[in-house]
């Protein structure tokens, strides 16, 4: 699943957190029936041990974790029937995805129902391809073990790896259900600070549906496809400056929806990509900042327990402030 820089698309939420039990990796012994005579080893095992994929079984055979009559074998070895097969299942990388890890968390608010944290740039929110460990989810499970009982360890929205800022995490299933409902109803208030190349209008709204890019699966794009989902971003220009000879603008973006890479795609579609954005930005100007200049600086919602409105805000990160200083721009949120 592709990581987002805003909210997780709600129709893609997986309400299961799979934690492997010890018996999933106990040795398996079986005697092959005579009826399999003439079939190769990997095909036989894929039929007799269907809980594991054929590809994984092939990896185990090649690594010597499958023995035939006490000896390692080959994937294409022909079985005659009657052989004793011993399989020692091995953990896959993804099986460690939900293991608690001691990762520092900057929690700025917490009660019995929710916690709000400031995610640093560089931290992936949820395990996925290429990032099966070292994620925010792993850290949450370490610091708050009870979150193992809540789907996705309470995560209801996420930020892209290189986007910093505020996130809310549900500590109970009831709170998670309520927060998801609020996200679906678009009542959660989220404001982002973004530094963009160029000088956009003083304010505006981008109402442009988005879908996966037709040629580059790592990217999203404004799209007229029937698969595109509604996406709305409101923006306001806060100040302007210069990075060397290039004009830049500090923009406050308010999300009405939260699609994958929404702010990055919408601002780029107007001709004002984010400073430091290597995916949608100006490649020859990435030297100015090592990540996209984007921070979730304000978060507001209805508390799932008290039903009262609550709001949090944080100042810009040190690297973001330094970037504004270089551009000759004041820091408006202290």
Query: 281 CB contacts (<8 Å, ≥6 apart)?
Result: 197, 268, 273, 274, 275, 292
Other Cβ atoms closer than 10 A to 190? 23
CA pair distance 117, 123, nearest whole angstrom: 12
Q: If you ran DSSP here, which 8-state letter would residue 259 be given?
A: -
Is 160 in the active site? yes
CA pair distance 224, 31, nearest whole angstrom: 57
CB 256 within 8 A of CB 233: yes
CB 127 within 8 A of CB 97: yes
CA pair distance 217, 262, nearest whole angstrom: 15
Give the active site residue among 160, 277, 319, 325: 160
164 - beta bridge partners? 295
Catalytically active residues, by annotation: 160
């Amino acid at each position: 699943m592709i990581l987002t820089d805003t909210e997780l698309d709600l129709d893609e939420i997986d309400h299961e957190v799979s934690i492997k039990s010890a018996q999933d990796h106990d040795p398996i012994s079986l005697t092959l029936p005579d009826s399999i005579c003439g079939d190769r080893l990997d095909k036989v095992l894929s039929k007799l041990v269907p809980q594991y994929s054929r590809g994984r079984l092939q990896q185990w055979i090649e690594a010597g974790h499958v023995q035939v009559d006490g000896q390692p074998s080959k994937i294409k070895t022909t079985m005659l029937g009657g052989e004793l097969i011993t399989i020692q299942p091995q953990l896959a990388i993804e099986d460690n995805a939900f293991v608690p890890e001691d990762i520092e968390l900057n929690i700025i608010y917490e009660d019995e129902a929710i916690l709000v944290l400031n995610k640093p740039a560089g931290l992936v929110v949820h395990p996925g391809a290429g990032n099966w460990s070292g994620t925010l989810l792993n850290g949450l499970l370490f610091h708050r073990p009870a979150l193992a009982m809540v789907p996705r360890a309470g995560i209801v929205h996420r930020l892209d790896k290189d986007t910093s800022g505020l996130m809310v995490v549900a500590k109970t299933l009831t709170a998670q259900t309520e927060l998801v409902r609020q996200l679906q109803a678009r009542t959660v208030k989220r404001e982002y600070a973004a530094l963009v190349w160029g000088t956009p209008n003083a304010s505006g709204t981008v109402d442009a549906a988005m879908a996966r890019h037709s040629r580059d699966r790592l990217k999203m794009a404004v799209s007229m496809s029937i698969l595109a989902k509604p996406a709305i971003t409101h923006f306001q220009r806060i100040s302007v400056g210069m990075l060397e000879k290039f004009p830049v603008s500090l923009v406050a973006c308010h999300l009405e929806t939260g699609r994958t890479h929404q702010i990055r795609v919408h601002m780029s579609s107007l001709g004002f990509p984010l400073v430091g954005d290597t995916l949608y930005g100006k490649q020859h100007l990435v030297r100015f900042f090592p990540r996209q200049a984007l921070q979730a600086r304000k978060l507001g919602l209805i508390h799932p327990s008290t039903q009262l409105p609550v709001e949090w805000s944080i100042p810009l990160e040190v690297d973001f402030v330094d970037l504004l200083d270089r551009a000759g721009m004041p820091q408006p949120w202290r």
